[in-house]
Structure 1
Amino acid sequence: MSVTYNMQPAFAVDDASLLETDLTTCHLLVMVGQGTFSYVVFDPVGGKFLALKSYNFQPQKLAVADLEMIEQVFDADRLLFTAFRSVLIAFDGADGTLVPEKQYNSQLKKDYLHLAYPEKLQEVVMADILPPPVSIVNIYSVDKDLLGFLRKEFSTDRIVHAHSALLQAYPYDFDFRNYDGVAYVAVQRNRFTLTIYMGGKLLNQQELPWQTGLDVVYHLVNALRLLGLDEQRVKVKLGGVLPNDSDIHRELHKFLPNLEWMQRLPEFQYIGKMLEMPGHYFHNLYALALCV
């Protein structure tokens, strides 16, 4: 028997410009993760984000609990049924692996993925071919029932992985080509995505679990040392919905001297209420605008 909750967003940001804009010319950019459902409304004409909402709930089995909770989000949030110009759905936290585009064979995408992850009964294997200068194929699996529900509700086949958006966003960062190395730490609930570059070359991207800030320090320092990088010289950029005094930020600051917060993507515009939030909030959600 399912339980009905009064679904309220953890974050809800908009202003009068949302009512003054013809939303049929706008894109709805949706991100679905384990225990999270977030979206932004993006006006491509002005390159501006007009609204943001983010819901959190306790994840259990993705195909059961998360799907039921997302159904309740749809019942509570009527903006989701607006006739937008397009809807893009991004999956965050799905199993994934990266393959250089030159070595990619579409007929083997399941084989690439299952070298790293076991096959699941309810999975659909998908691939994002990222344009130059990235030139990488991101292969990942998503839950069949959840994918089917979202495709039906939004009437869209535009699907990407959240990591694909991050890989397109990081080259816009000023430190992207740092020859001492730069590590981007994008934090979600109980896990984080670590992406490491040196001189603009992608060295590593992986998703790792965490419970305390020291867990993040351990995984980050271990990954840097395995790549032959000096954690005392590497620039570390931290992003996610984290307060400035968060445990993760405190622990990273103790061990990594070149620590900074990620900032909003500079090529877009944001309503005033978004600019009032810390710049490292929802970096991965804004990055979806690079995929439309």
Structure 2
Amino acid sequence: MSVTYNMQPAFAVDDASLLETDLTTCHLLVLVGQGTFSYVVFEPAGGKFLALKSYHFQPQKLAVADLEMIERVFDADKLLFTAFRSVLLAFDAAVSTLVPESQYSSQLKKDYLHMAYPEKLQEAVLADILPPPMSLVNVYAVDKDLLGFLRKEFSTDRMVHAHSALLQAYPYDFDFRAADGVAYIMAQRNRFTITIYAGGKLLNQQEQPYQTGLDIVYHLVNTLRILGLDEQKVKVKLGGPIAKDTDVYGELHKFMPHVEWVQRLSDFQYISKMQELPAHYFHHLYALALCV
């Protein structure tokens, strides 16, 4: 017996302004992660987000299985076939490393990556040159078949890593230059990214798996101490689809005295239905507008 999947978004937000807008003037910003496929429609003229959808499915060990689920998203969501002004593909891939731009050579990008991670079959190694004043290159790997499918369906060669977008978004936060340090945590299902600054200087960015909120606390405190920062003084800014009643928030709040949610980027406009969602839920998705 064949199984029919009714692929429905976990979050779907838009209003009449979407129908009233010429979408050929808009950008489609797509974020692909482990078991997730999300996008926003962004109107650059008004700096406004007009629509958001996020699909969640069980992450698979084999990338081909994730690709099959994304193919079902395309079957279900006809908005993806709109002739947008441009499409930006973003990958929330766990395999990534930062390289100083002064030491970077495009011919060696695989070598940089495989110093930290083993080489995988069917991987495509990409690199984002981050804008000044960061002087960094983010080197990362994505599944070659998934990349090929998305490039073909969207007819685009514009790609970026999700961490590259976050690194451009965090300097907009008021606490970015805190002398005692600030740790931004982007928590997703079973994994999280920590990005730590002190006085506006990037000290560390890493991604780790987790099972409980206590795992995040352990990794965070250990990293802060290695960097010589006092966890009782560092401000923690939490983002991602995490509710206040989860153990992630609870454990962080128990051990860290300064925990807040990250906020939407203030330079942009959001339709009223987006403003009804928790501000921290899609910070990494909205950040893609900085990469257009």
Q: TM-score with structure 1 length normalisation?
A: 0.98
User: Paired residue for 1:42?
Assistant: 42
User: Paired residue for 1:214?
Assistant: 214
Letter aligned with residue 95 of structure 1:
V
Deviation at 1:63, TM superposition (A): 2.2
Unaligned runs of 5+ in 2: none
Question: Deviation string for 1:140-166 (max 9, x for gaps)?
Answer: 010000000000000000011000000
CA distance, structure 2, for counterparts of residue 194 and residue 242 of structure 1:
15
CA distance, structure 2, for counterparts of residue 80 and residue 60 of structure 1:
23
Evaluate the alpha carbon distance shift between residue 2 and residue 198 of structure 1 in structure 2; reply closer, same or farther with a 3 A threshold: farther
User: Paired residue for 1:99?
Assistant: 99
CA distance, structure 1, for counterparts of residue 18 and residue 89 of structure 2:
21
CA distance, structure 1, for counterparts of residue 105 and residue 130 of structure 2:
14
Q: Runs ≥4 in structure 1, deviation > 6 angstroms?
A: none
User: Paired residue for 1:7?
Assistant: 7
Letter aligned with residue 85 of structure 2:
R
Letter aligned with residue 156 of structure 2:
T
Instruction: Verify: 1:266 aligned to 2:270, yes or no.
Output: no
Q: Secondary structure at the match of 2:176?
A: coil
Deviation at 1:65, TM superposition (A): 1.2
Deviation at 1:61, TM superposition (A): 2.7
Deviation at 1:93, TM superposition (A): 2.4
User: Paired residue for 2:111?
Assistant: 111
Unaligned runs of 5+ in 1: none
Contact 2:93 2:142 in 1 (8 A): no
Q: Secondary structure at the match of 2:93?
A: coil
Contact 2:93 2:141 in 1 (8 A): no
Q: Secondary structure at the match of 2:7?
A: coil
Contact 2:47 2:268 in 1 (8 A): yes
1:1-292 to 2 correspondences below 5 Å: 3-292=3-292
Q: TM-score with structure 2 length normalisation?
A: 0.98
Q: Secondary structure at the match of 2:177?
A: coil
Evaluate the alpha carbon distance shift between residue 2 and residue 90 of structure 1 in structure 2; reply closer, same or farther with a 3 A threshold: farther
Evaluate the alpha carbon distance shift between residue 57 and residue 220 of structure 1 in structure 2; reply closer, same or farther with a 3 A threshold: same
Deviation at 1:60, TM superposition (A): 1.1
Deviation at 1:62, TM superposition (A): 4.1
Evaluate the alpha carbon distance shift between residue 147 and residue 258 of structure 1 in structure 2; reply closer, same or farther with a 3 A threshold: same
Identity %: 82
Count of residues paired in the alignment: 292
Evaluate the alpha carbon distance shift between residue 2 and residue 230 of structure 1 in structure 2; reply closer, same or farther with a 3 A threshold: farther
